[in-house]
Structure 1
Amino acid sequence: MKTTGWMMCAAAAAALAAVTWAAPLHAQQAQQSDVVIVGKEGWLFPAWGSLSEVDTAAVQSSTALIADAKQALAARGIQLEVLVLPDKVTFYEDRLPEGRVVSPTVKKRYDTILGSLQAAGVDALDARKVLSDTRATGKDVFYRSDQHWTQPAADAVADAIAARIKQKVPQLAGEAGTGMALGSETRERRYGDLAELFLDPAQRTAVGRDTFVVRRATEAQSLLDDGKAPVHITGHSMVQAYFGFPQKLSNDIDRPVTVNWKSGNVGPWVVLLEYLESADFRDNPPQVLVWQMFEPVYGFGPAAQGQWDNASIMTPAQWQERLHKALGH
């Protein structure tokens, strides 16, 4: 699997996983921060997505930009695969603190997004169903004190995306046997990112660590190999190598996969542009581009002040101008 310089290697990420919940939070420790909801049994949830309201106009605006990108990429012979990952809270609403609930409108938000995409001619995977099916087997799909998905969840979605790619682009460039071999799984004990980054020491200690299951890199695996790849993934930290999605997708399609990602505060709009404006894209354009987004912030467009870091902010028109310029239109 080839990656860009933005990829964090698994070894560098592995400084951090867990004990099971052993004691209730004290009342003073359970106070909510601005960015984290502290739930029952130490479950933590990002607070940047509303539990009560959905801005349908904003959803439609984002969809319009995505549909434009799909058409522009198609003109270059590139298949866009939009991957909207569902909100953690919709799977673990019962772990929210007393008095916090998910409104019926928010429960339907993922359907609203998929329906908006479908109406705009963008066929996207129902990743929520994939994760629901995975959880029905008794496996957690998100970590307790972390915003990220588990290995079984990442694997299941990679399988589903791979099936879509094979159906839509049956003749992938490259040689058979060049997909990434999957390394053995290992367990790491650390605090989840929501606990590590946003809780005070007392809260963090009360929540405790989680056990993260990740794959070791195989001897043949290099995160900085050169060469062409028919599939590229762009998104936020969910698709970094540490959580296993790109490796599993590469293994499934039996071809190399490239990745660029940045943390969620940057937003998906700039992350996509950084790839399309790169020499990597110019020299080795893929056949398929997997663009990963996140349900709670789907409606935050390129101009979402206060949601993305300042350097990421631009008007939708500016974003489209850069997109089309990068694609040579």
Structure 2
Amino acid sequence: MKRQIATLAMMISSVATAISYPPALVGKDGYLFAPRMESYLPEWGGYVNTSSYEMIDNLKQTLNKKGIDVYVVIVPTKISVLQKYLPDEVKLSDTDKSRYDTITKKLNDRAVVNVPIKQILENQANGRSYFKQDTHWNPEGSRAAANALATAISNKSATLSKIPSLKISAKEQIKQSNPGDLVKLLPENQQAAYKSGEKFTSINFTKAEAGLLGDDYPDIVLLGSSYSSSNLGFADSLAYALQKDVLNVSMPANSKFGIWSSIEKYFNGSDFKSHVPKIVILEFPERDFHQTPSVLINNKRDADFDLKWVASIQAVIEKTR
């Protein structure tokens, strides 16, 4: 057993052996981790990929010219936020430890407004920011992130006061989850111990009825990944914190264009053509930040392909009134 743990420690501390990671790792207090999914993968260029930054910057500049504020949220990996729940012998590489800060710094260098939330999630009481059995944050974690984002928007946005308010109430309730996405990555003889899922605190949000003059198209739009899916509460928590309606367009990372799929869907869809919003929020998971459209479509890095892809989105934005 000691030899096995030592081997795992070597794999997680060595970039060169990233592709040898076990699918799932059992940590302390029942936490499961996916080192292969959440750690630096050299074959994809990892966080050093410049296409992602340039694509976001180009998109931001085009939206800003339309008078639309842009905010970026990078969701940190569970394995980096909850390092204290890894086995003592298992250590993350320096690359994995610094990747989140590297991404946010590179965005800051391009004057992209991004809201750092890693430390906020690390400070959540008893580590309750991510599901134990799943790679995703739980509603408590997403609410903490939404509160930080709402504060940043309130402090920076000159257009927020022009957006109609909406009375939203919230009530906590305890729920039981299904087995998380990491359970199926365990050996079959270990999965039974997790079949009952886990208890978590959910928040039930209630929006007041809109008046006769209510706007069917919210002025705040969240374009995100599975971390923004409705059952995790990120969009609803943001709406509650701002007391403003939020349109949530979220798609999983295994969609055609990966984490860029929600961007493609929204700007090429009827919602944007019918109503130009005042604020757009782009949510990207740290673990998938390197996956630009060229990687997903052509299975190789191609910066020209990526910039042409985002240019097609920019063209749609520029033509929309």
Question: What's the TM-score, normalizing by structure 1?
Answer: 0.77
Greater RCO, 1 or 2 (C-alpha within 8 Å, sep 6+): 1
Q: Compute the displacement of 1:170 (Å).
A: 4.0
Which residue in the other structure is 1:166 paired with? 154
Which residue in the other structure is 2:191 paired with? 204
1:328 aligns with 2:315: no
Structure 1 CA distance for aligned equivalents of residues 287 and 37 of structure 2: 7
Q: Compute the displacement of 1:127 (Å).
A: 0.9
Task: Kindly report which structure 2 residues correspond to 1:29-68, keeping only aligned pairs within 5 A, or say none.
Answer: 35-46=23-34, 47-50=36-39, 55-58=46-49, 60-68=50-58
> Structure 2: which 5+ runs fail to align?
9-19
**Residues matched between the structures, number:** 290
Which residue in the other structure is 1:10 paired with? none
Letter in 2 for 1:272: I
Q: Compute the displacement of 1:276 (Å).
A: 0.9
Structure 2 CA distance for aligned equivalents of residues 104 and 269 of structure 1: 27
Structure 2 CA distance for aligned equivalents of residues 149 and 84 of structure 1: 13
Structure 1 CA distance for aligned equivalents of residues 296 and 163 of structure 2: 42
Structure 2 CA distance for aligned equivalents of residues 218 and 57 of structure 1: 42
Structure 1 CA distance for aligned equivalents of residues 298 and 95 of structure 2: 22
Which residue in the other structure is 2:295 paired with? 304
Which residue in the other structure is 2:261 paired with? 270
Identical columns (%): 23
Please list the CA deviations of residues 143-186 of structure 1 after superposition, one character each: whole Å capped at 9, or x if unmatched. Answer: 1111111222111111111111122224434433x143223423
Structure 2 CA distance for aligned equivalents of residues 162 and 244 of structure 1: 14
Aligned residue among 261, 280, 297 for 2:271: 280
Q: Compute the displacement of 1:293 (Å).
A: 0.4
> Structure 1: which 5+ runs fail to align?
1-26
Aligned residue among 236, 239, 247 for 2:225: 236
Structure 1 CA distance for aligned equivalents of residues 132 and 209 of structure 2: 29
In 1, are the aligned partners of 2:38 and 2:79 still within 8 Å (CA)? no
Structure 2 CA distance for aligned equivalents of residues 272 and 290 of structure 1: 10
Letter in 2 for 1:230: D
Structure 2 CA distance for aligned equivalents of residues 150 and 320 of structure 1: 31
In 2, are the aligned partners of 1:190 and 1:211 still within 8 Å (CA)? no
Aligned residue among 72, 76, 85 for 1:86: 76
1:190 aligns with 2:178: yes
In 1, are the aligned partners of 2:55 and 2:310 still within 8 Å (CA)? yes
Structure 1 CA distance for aligned equivalents of residues 262 and 23 of structure 2: 22
Report SS of the residue matched to 2:223. Answer: strand
Aligned residue among 118, 130, 135 for 2:120: 130
In 2, are the aligned partners of 1:300 and 1:307 still within 8 Å (CA)? no
In 2, are the aligned partners of 1:190 and 1:212 still within 8 Å (CA)? no
Q: Compute the displacement of 1:86 (Å).
A: 0.6
Q: Compute the displacement of 1:327 (Å).
A: 0.4
Letter in 1 for 2:222: I
Per the alignment, do residues 51 and 318 of structure 1 end up closer, same or farther by CA in structure 2, a change over 3 Å counting? closer
Letter in 2 for 1:151: P
In 2, are the aligned partners of 1:52 and 1:105 still within 8 Å (CA)? no
Structure 2 CA distance for aligned equivalents of residues 318 and 37 of structure 1: 39
Report SS of the residue matched to 1:227. Answer: coil
Which residue in the other structure is 1:117 paired with? 107
Structure 1 CA distance for aligned equivalents of residues 297 and 27 of structure 2: 25
In 1, are the aligned partners of 2:174 and 2:202 still within 8 Å (CA)? yes
Letter in 2 for 1:160: A
Structure 2 CA distance for aligned equivalents of residues 198 and 226 of structure 1: 44
Which residue in the other structure is 2:248 paired with? 259
Report SS of the residue matched to 1:138. Answer: helix
In 1, are the aligned partners of 2:81 and 2:118 still within 8 Å (CA)? no
Please list the CA deviations of residues 74-128 of structure 1 after superposition, one character each: whole Å capped at 9, or x if unmatched. Answer: 1111111100011100122243357542111210111110111111111211111
